[in-house]
A and B are shown apart, each in its own frame.
Chain A
Amino acid sequence: MGILLQVRDLKTYFYTDAGVVKAVDGVSYDLKEGETLGLVGESGCGKSVSALSILRLIANPPGKIVGGEIFFEGKDLLKISEEEIRNIRGNHIAMIFQEPMTSLNPVLTVGLQIGEALELHRNMNKKEAREEILRLLKMVGIPDPERRMNDYPHQFSGGMRQRVMIAMALSCNPKLLIADEPTTAVDVTIQAQLLEVVKELTSRLGTAVMLITHNLGVVARHVNRMAVMYAGRIVEQGPAAEVYAHPQHPYTIGLLASVPRLDKPRKERLAPIDGQPPNLILLPPGCSFMPRCSHRMEICSNERPELRPVGDGHFTACWANIVK
């Protein structure tokens, strides 16, 4: 499989009255064609901002992509013209968001919204578009599509709205689908349905998927490789099975240990990560995780660790050598 996307040393900062928020501070990852990459982390780690940066959807002001390169099919997305990136959005790279009610236009019918992408990117006329809209709605499992395409977003439930978003996103057969916390706002039974739909469709269409989430369970089931983010940087990445089985970064280890699991016997006490989430304006020098880390050493307060290999395709940004 060829490499579809290469993010190199991406830096996106937000210039606020309180100071500079280094939301993404030197992030690099690759995505192969047809692969699913999970971008995992808690709120504020930079996962959504890094995805929005790919499509140059960062509001300026106060945000600015201040450094790095994003190669998609050989072109650096950060250097192409506004017209060229517009041609890529919704067409070659599509995105679905957490809150479908805020990303769907409330005054347009669902059919019109899906049709917009089809007319814009696939040059379809109204008749062709209508056929395609029906096909897409059926594909994502919306019952009674002939009637439903004339309904407005508020007439759909949360899970159904997300299916509409998935239909819109896949309407132009993109090479890459970015899903930013697509199931956080829906119930667990609907989450299971939606993720199965995404998995089934993207594997059928050969679409690569970047799944952004804080839910470690969702990642385990639905991704091939994963990258764990903390305070704007990737702290660990590798094949999902490997990272879960042999986590190397103290943050990943802590995160996995703090989550109660249904399949294991009940522990007497949960093992949380000490301390508070980082303040992105006042990050400590050296490793950002150091204040909460039980493996910290002197070098951690002075020098920021870079990603180094610890296994086959498995990397960690940590000075300590955690024994497997």
Chain B
Amino acid sequence: MARITASIYTSHVPAIGAAIDHGKTGEPYWQLVFKGYDFSKQWMREHKPDVIFLVYNDHATAFSLEIIPTFAIGTAAEFKVADEGWGPRPVPDVIGHPELAAHIAQSVIQDDFDLTIVNKMDVDHGLTVPLSLMCGQPQAWPCPVIPFAVNVVQYPVPSGRRCFMLGQAIRKAIESFDPPLNVQIWGTGGMSHQLQGPRAGLINKEFDKRFLDMLIADPAHLANMPHIEYVREAGSEGIELVMWLIARGAMADVNGGKPPRVAHRFYHVPASNTAVGHLILENT
């Protein structure tokens, strides 16, 4: 049977992708960000998964205002890298895992989560920046990836509680897939940041630290935090953090297993407009 071996959490700031693509990672400003991922790249080589289930949000790229799905699972064999206005990032296209994705859709929808099934979709920096941070600049990504897009652009976005419950349904789905795959689940976005209005540039280190502490130790409690607290305390775009609760909900301890091991924790301000947070949690 397939199993979830670890969950990874990281911000997905577009400027990080631009710094990698334009060879700026050695600049002092960016060194402070990338040094937090040296361990992660090594860890990734030593813990190569068979599939990554990657929770992210589309930033008005694949989904315009024509259709706004709350939860969308990519079931295609391949996903192209999107042109977000600056030209596509020079990174490999993403190979999907249609069999596992279809299996998860079947299981999770029967568990009362109404997923939108997407067979054709370009993927933006929300998905490719985490891959770059964890895998560097390979010719091809190390394994297939199932993109899972969450609407955090138009309010109301799904609640933390619902995201946490969805993570549990995803774990159940993955563990009922017969081939013995090693699956990682990634939650991306955040941490505190605001990209709009006169309050743009907001950062709340205390909020972010508390969020990381609680995500590790008491995610069920954290999941009860209402939207308004994210907006007020972590900025209007800090709401992306609800996506981390999907990945956390899929970990074994939430289903009565042992607490995860914290393999890595990193936090830095700033990358462009944003606080960068990063965790690797291993199921033990």
Q: Do A and B come from one complex?
A: no
Residues on B facing A (Cβ under 8 Å): none
Residues on A facing B (Cβ under 8 Å): none
